[in-house]
């Protein structure tokens, strides 16, 4: 009897000691990491959408996860329950999931930065082109005005435009000097009195 009891406890000991294999129907650890990564991505997407409008879209995304990993919601739930009873394995798995999610986020950030740099370069190129067009337009206006530097005053007499302008400026300066001298004289007379 003692030997049977001893044999019984030895068998229970070996049965209880798991050899590290996952039971049938449980998703393997590496596959479970991919499943959890996809589930967390869908959950994150669902959290930023309106609840009413996203119900069908989220269900379709979960169905795509099930199809991709050849499982269903029951298989995922059983696997989570199994790995919850083995917290060391679950911790390692979630560290891997976290690493994968951070890598995906970094890749998306890098793509967004590259897209913004490309758009900025395109904008700068267009701005330089527009500045060049404006400069050419100003140069053409200046060239046109230089070509029109002569004005016909009479049908027989052609006077350079610059000369007329300088004459006009000279007349204005002479008027200012006269006004200044009249003002100075009136101030002197006012001080003397």
Q: What pLDDT digit, counting tens, does each position of 129-145 carry?
A: 888 888 777 666 555 55
Q: Which residues on adjacent β-strands are paired with residue 160?
A: 150
Neighbours of 39 (CB within 10 A): 17
Please tell me which residue, 17 or 56, carries the higher pLDDT value: 56
Rounding to the nearest 10 degrees, give the CA dihedral for residues 113, 118, 121, 122.
Answer: -140
- How far is the C-alpha of 18 from the C-alpha of 89, rounded, in Å? 14
| Residue 152 main-chain phi, psi, to 5 deg | -85, 115
Structure tokens at 38: 């996809």
Q: What pLDDT digit, counting tens, does each position of 96-105 carry?
A: 999 999 999 9
Least Cα distance to 69 among 107, 26, 102 occurs for: 26
Residue 58: pLDDT band (50, 70, 90) is: confident
Structure tokens at 130: 């527009």
Report percent pLDDT > 70 for the chain: 62
pLDDT of residue 25: 81
Least Cα distance to 65 among 49, 46, 84, 48 occurs for: 46
Please tell me which residue, 182 or 157, carries the higher pLDDT value: 182
DSSP-assigned letters across all residues of 113-161:
HHHHHHHHHHHHHHHHHHHHHHHHHHHHHHHHHHHT-EEESSSS-EEEH
Query: Quick one: residue 26, left, alpha or beta (phi over 0 = left, psi -120 to 50 = alpha)?
Result: beta
Q: What pLDDT digit, counting tens, does each position of 61-77 carry?
A: 899 999 999 998 899 99
């Amino acid at each position: 009897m003692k030997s049977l009891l001893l044999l019984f406890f030895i068998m229970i000991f070996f049965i209880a000691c798991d050899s590290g294999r996952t039971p049938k129907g449980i998703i393997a650890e590496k596959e479970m990491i991919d499943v959890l990564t996809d589930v967390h991505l869908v959950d994150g997407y669902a959290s930023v959408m309106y609840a009413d409008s996203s119900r069908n879209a989220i269900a379709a995304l979960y169905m795509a996860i099930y199809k991709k990993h050849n499982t269903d919601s029951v298989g995922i739930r059983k696997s989570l329950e199994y790995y919850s009873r083995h917290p060391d394995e679950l911790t390692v798995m979630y560290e891997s999931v976290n690493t994968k999610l951070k890598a995906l986020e970094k890749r998306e950030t890098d793509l967004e930065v590259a897209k913004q740099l490309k758009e900025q370069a395109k904008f700068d190129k267009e701005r330089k082109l527009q500045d060049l067009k404006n400069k050419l337009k100003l140069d053409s206006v200046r060239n046109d005005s230089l070509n029109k530097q002569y004005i016909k005053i009479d049908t027989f007499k052609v006077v350079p435009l610059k000369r007329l302008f300088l004459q006009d400026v000279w007349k204005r300066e002479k008027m200012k000097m006269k006004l200044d001298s009249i003002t100075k004289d009136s101030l002197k007379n006012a001080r003397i009195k």
